[in-house]
A and B are shown apart, each in its own frame.
Chain A
Amino acid sequence: MKVSLLTARLPLAVATWCLVASAGYSQSAFVPSAGDPEVFYRYLRQAHQAVSETPQPVSSPAQQGAAAMMHVTAGDLAVLENVYQDTTNAIAALDTEAKTYINETVKAKSTPDLKKLQDYYARRVQILEAADQQLRNLLGDASWRRTREYIDGDFRSHVKRRVYQWKGQQ
């Protein structure tokens, strides 16, 4: 007998929510809001990729091109890379913790605690917001404003987001 993930894994009280929700729901993707932490992290990842693929000195045309693509100076690429490394290490540690919890809980035929999952996600957001602040401090206000303008502008506009929510009634 097929049993839904959530009825199987989540507390019974929560599982009862799911019975009335509608699946015939139509929506279109949306562009995340300005200041979105996940878009910011995407920006860091892309900057990291740009740096990784152009391992020449800062003054090289390739690095200048990478910097131009990310809308920062070539010198700021190193700052972005540092923030990326710090952030990714923190996210990786969180991922490991969260995945260990979920996988082991499920393996023990128990149900992950939704509050704990919410806490992992809250910590992820905190890491990204701290990274955002760290980058702002390192770049300085003027550079930060230019960078943020790009992230919240053209860069953000390419991202499409869809939300699949646990929705039900108590």
Chain B
Amino acid sequence: MEGSTMRTSRTIGWLFSIGVFVGTGTVLLAQCPSGAVCVDTDDNFDRLNGNAVQGHVETSLFGDLQYYFYPSVAGQEDKDGSVLSTSSLIWGAQGGVIRYNFASITLSSSGPGTYTATGYHEIYCPTSLCGSEVYYPPYTDGWNGYDAGSLSVQRPTVSGQPGLWWLGGGPDNPNSLYNQGYMSVTTNCSSCSETPHWTVTANPSKVSLSCTDCSTLIITTQQPSSSIGDVHIQASIGGFPSDTFQFTVNQPRALVSQGISDSASGATGYQSLLYYTTIEDAYGSPFASIGINEQFGSFTADTTNNWPTPTAGGIATYSGTWWDTISVACGSPCGASPLPLPPSGLSNPVMHATQTWRAGSATLGTGVVVQVDTIQYYTDHGRHN
């Protein structure tokens, strides 16, 4: 700070050195006390708007003896300890105020951090008033004339869920899986008047925003992510952007078999239970519960039969694992042909169809396709092939 722009004191304090003035110690005064000169300094940064700060240094004089002195100030501005600029010593009018404003700084270029203005405050009594030139500092209280003030600047902060679900266009309310959520931004600037502006800077087609100039919005998923955090969102205040908020549009990925159980059912027939978990795409983790539904294509007979075709169904909720039941149970006497059998190893295909599984809803045909298989009815069991 004590660079070439800073003037060194001259004729240091001879006036005060004989004890004319002293500091007033811890006295707190609403006004300058009688028989004193008061020196106010203000060295700081102001937040001009969302995207600009400006430093200043100021020396002002007042009090009974203010007109004996001329104020001066020099300054330096730093960001996180690195010097941005300095200013030479400039003088104000007799008994007055002198202020230096540094050039405004654009935050979108210079970034967040701690901006510090350091002022060097010198006062001067000319020969015409004091009989000889008198400069302070050092002041009689030992002050070296330097003061400083800082402003901490943070980027706006976006908050919200880091991801939502793509379930084909809607939510799965029974399972609390949502395709919409709130996002909001904290400006981190109490004096900023600008309305935050939102931008999706990467993969904008994967989400929609309910508004772009607002503090809080609703984000709606439109397409699934290709990778975790591939949707990038920023909110800016007057052009000063937040850090990138990485957002993921997750979706159900697949069904994972958890085993099959075949057993006899009815007088003659079988029941095959095919157990599954449903996993999500981003991390491959199983859902605790998600709506599941199936749809069948046309059934094709593998052999001449009079077996009824099944009715597609859906499951709204479950706990961890669910199962599909393929069952042909016949009474006695049984009119089915061929005759369904309990699990026996005597397997002949009877009929089959394409089976499409969707996750995200119990409503048939709604949700994200997680498995397409062939549902195969055999004489003594059923399978998803």
Contacts and interface: CB of A to CB of B under 8 A. Distances in A.
Decide whether A and B assemble into one complex.
yes
Interface string B47-83: 1111000000010101111111000000000000000
A99 B92 CA distance: 14
A4 B15 contact: yes
Given A18-B19, A165-B24, A121 B40 contact: no
A167 interface: yes
Contacts of B29: 32-33, 163
B40 A102 contact: no
A21 B131 contact: no
Contacts of A125: 31
A4 B37 CA distance: 16
B19 A19 contact: yes
B237 to A, nearest CB: 11
Contacts of B24: 27, 163-165, 167
B23 A27 contact: yes
A106 B64 contact: no
B34 interface: yes
Interface string B117-148: 00000000100111110100001111100010
B42 A159 contact: yes
Contact of B38 (A25, A62, A163): A163
Interface string A1-23: 01111111100000000111111
Contacts of B193: 61, 64-65, 67-68
Interface stretch (B94-102, B154-162, B211-219): B94-102
A155 B58 CA distance: 14
26 contacts: A2-B131, A4-B15, A7-B20, A18-B19, A22-B22, A25-B142, A29-B143, A32-B30, A33-B29, A42-B60, A61-B194, A65-B48, A65-B238, A71-B191, A95-B96, A118-B35, A120-B64, A121-B63, A160-B42, A163-B24, A163-B27, A163-B38, A164-B24, A165-B36, A166-B21, A166-B65
**Which 10 pairs between the two chains have the least Cβ-Cβ distance?**
A166-B35, A68-B193, A21-B19, A27-B23, A165-B36, A65-B49, A5-B130, A163-B24, A164-B21, A25-B22
Interface of A: 2-9, 18-23, 25-27, 29-30, 32-33, 35-39, 42, 45-46, 49, 61-62, 64-65, 67-69, 71, 95, 98-99, 102-103, 106-107, 114, 117-118, 120-121, 124-125, 158-168
Given A8-B130, A167-B21, 15 more contacts: A7-B20, A27-B24, A33-B29, A38-B31, A38-B38, A61-B49, A65-B194, A107-B128, A121-B63, A160-B41, A163-B27, A164-B140, A165-B35, A167-B35, A168-B20
